């Protein structure tokens, strides 16, 4: 064993150094990442970037000289916590929004921001600023309509223009929440409740008015029909009205059902029962 070591120790040492050198220089770039090789603070190469020639896979660098900066290739989120924004109608709004962006120029990103977190830190105040400017030109009611889409499109365009200088592209901006603060919100709810109650009273009054008009028209129409029937057949009209009178007088549900009415058989009121004699 000793003899083997003595004969091949140079080879073993060379293999050991080769393995160490391989481990220090080799690195793997997955498909969802792009890499910038930085040497002495300056980008000297890229891997798996949109405009680069080197694709994902196994690559090598100079140990202790080159630094590998890995950058996410997929969409990234830029979230905005609740911010108070003053709308055009002087409403204080609590706005929560987010943007989605991707790194399209990793070299510029490394030079200007250093990392994706640096891009987020740079874009965060810009997103707040452009959102305030855009919402400040619109009313709270407008943000509840289709106009909200136009506002977000303007925010995305302005934010994307600023993001280009950091090698990023903004693909979407969304508002997840637009609320009034608690005190104005309660006041708004009370105003809305009062408005709805006033509207309900107006509708009920209009309904009652229409009902009276319809009832009056129906009574007039009934009177007209009665008058016409009287003109055509006075006997039938007299009989019909008598039946109505009997029904109103003797119906069980009319007045006190336990009351009794005693009439003489030759009472004039019952003449229809006697064959109109």
Long-range contacts of 131-135 (CB under 8 A, 24+ apart): 131/80, 131/83, 131/85, 131/95, 131/97, 131/155, 132/83, 132/85, 132/86, 133/158, 134/158, 135/85, 135/87, 135/93, 135/95
DSSP state of 129: H
* pLDDT score of 193: 85
* pLDDT score of 214: 95
Rounded to 5 degrees, what are φ and ψ at 42? -115, 135
CA 214-219-220 angle, 5° bins: 95
**Percent of the chain that is helix, strand, coil (3-state, to 5):** 55, 25, 25
Encoded tokens for 263: 């009439």
Q: What is the DSSP string of 149-204?
A: HHHHHHHHHHHHHHHGGGTEEEEEEEEEEEE--HHHHHHHHHHHHHHHHHHHHHHH
* pLDDT score of 52: 81
Distances (CA, A) of 214 to 173, 206, 225: 56, 12, 16
Q: How many CB atoms lie within 10 A of CB 156?
A: 22
* pLDDT score of 32: 92
DSSP state of 73: -
* pLDDT score of 183: 63
Could you give the CA distance from residue 66 to residue 25 in angstroms, rounded to a whole number? 9
Encoded tokens for 18: 């080769």
Q: Measure the CA dihedral 172/178/181/186, to 10°.
A: -170
Encoded tokens for 177: 């929440």
Encoded tokens for 163: 């993001």
* pLDDT score of 166: 92
* pLDDT score of 64: 87
Helix, strand, or coil here: 98?
strand
Could you give the CA distance from residue 88 to residue 67 in angstroms, rounded to a whole number? 50
Place of tokens 């080197």: 54
For the chain of 277 residues, list the mean pLDDT of each consecutive stretch of 10: 73 87 91 92 89 88 90 91 80 85 93 90 90 84 78 91 93 83 69 87 94 94 82 79 82 62 78 68
* pLDDT score of 82: 79
């Amino acid at each position: 064993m000793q003899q083997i070591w003595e004969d091949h120790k140079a080879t073993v040492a060379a293999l050991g150094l080769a393995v160490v050198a391989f481990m220090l220089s080799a690195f793997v770039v997955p498909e969802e990442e792009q890499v910038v090789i930085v040497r002495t603070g300056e980008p000297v190469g890229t891997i798996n970037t949109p405009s680069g020639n080197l694709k994902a896979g196994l690559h090598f660098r100079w140990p202790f000289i080159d630094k590998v900066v890995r950058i996410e290739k997929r969409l990234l989120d830029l979230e905005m916590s609740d911010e108070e924004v003053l709308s055009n109608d002087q409403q204080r709004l609590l706005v929560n929004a987010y943007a989605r962006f991707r790194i399209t120029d990793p070299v510029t990103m490394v030079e200007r921001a250093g990392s994706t977190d640096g891009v987020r830190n740079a874009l965060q105040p810009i997103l707040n600023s452009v959102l305030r400017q855009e919402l400040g030109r619109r009313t709270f009611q407008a943000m509840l309509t289709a106009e909200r889409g136009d506002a977000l499109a303007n925010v995305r365009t302005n934010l994307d223009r600023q993001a280009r200088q950091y090698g990023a592209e903004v693909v979407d901006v969304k508002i997840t929440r637009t609320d009034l603060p608690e005190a104005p919100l309660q006041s708004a709810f009370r105003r809305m409740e009062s408005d709805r109650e006033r509207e309900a009273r107006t509708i009920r009054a209009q309904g009652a008015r229409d009902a009276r008009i319809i009832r009056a028209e129906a009574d007039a129409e009934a009177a007209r029909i009665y008058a016409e029937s009287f003109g055509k057949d006075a006997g039938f009209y007299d009989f019909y009205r008598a039946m109505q009178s009997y029904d109103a007088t003797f119906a069980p549900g009319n007045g006190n059902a336990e009351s009794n009415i005693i009439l003489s058989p030759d009472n004039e009121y019952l003449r229809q029962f006697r064959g109109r004699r």
